[in-house]
Amino acid sequence: MVVQKDLEEAIETVIAGEQKKGAVISNHERMIVAYHEIGHALVAAKCKNTAPVHKITIIPRTKGALGYTMQVEEEQHNLVSKEEAYQRIMVYTAGRCAEELIFNSITSGASNDIEQATKLARAMITRLGMSDNFGMTALETVNNAYLGGDTSLACSSETASKIDEEVVNLIKKAHDEAYQILNDNKMKLHELAKFLYERETITGEEFMEILNKPAEIPAQSTRA
């Protein structure tokens, strides 16, 4: 799960539903979560327009949130460029990408990431004028912005179908690029996931220090 908030306490409200602190998970699940969170962090570090990684943990905080990667902006940030929005989607997809790359399987751990990626992709297309196909056209309106911000489409059913298709394609493109980054840095993914698995919580400084040093290549055994 990716978190871009300044206060750790805000983690408790990220996923709706029953709260369950101190959840106990198996070692195998802890390993999956370690790769998942390092996937987020590694892609974030390789993107030029994302906030720095501040903290990564695999200590469960809520039911359904077995770990998180926290990114914190270095300075006040009010405007979001198209490149920044797209790379945020890449980071959201990166946890699932790590699971696919390492375990050839997927889990429910990306549920919140999927929700956030979909919301952002849809907003880019319908409200932020960041679609090449629709341009500066408002296709969605926000109702009761101060009471939850429900949205409603302001277009034909045919256009709505095209919006859905573009959202899917945008997220798929971001997913594929994130997957390629992880595949290109697979040794670092292994090294960092192992470090996080052993430590459970690491700082952004520790993460970047390992990421920036040469990859450790396991020694090959030799026969006498």
What are the catalytic residues?
A: 37
Helix axes 157-184, 82-103, angle to 10 degrees: 60
The contacts of residue 120 (CB under 8 Å, 6+ apart) are 85, 88, 89, 92
The contacts of residue 71 (CB under 8 Å, 6+ apart) are 2, 3, 4, 44, 50, 51, 52, 53, 54, 91
46/41 Cα distance (integer angstroms): 9
Helix axes 111-126, 157-184, angle to 10 degrees: 130
84/18 Cα distance (integer angstroms): 32
Distances (CA, A) of 205 to 1, 7, 62, 87: 19, 18, 25, 21
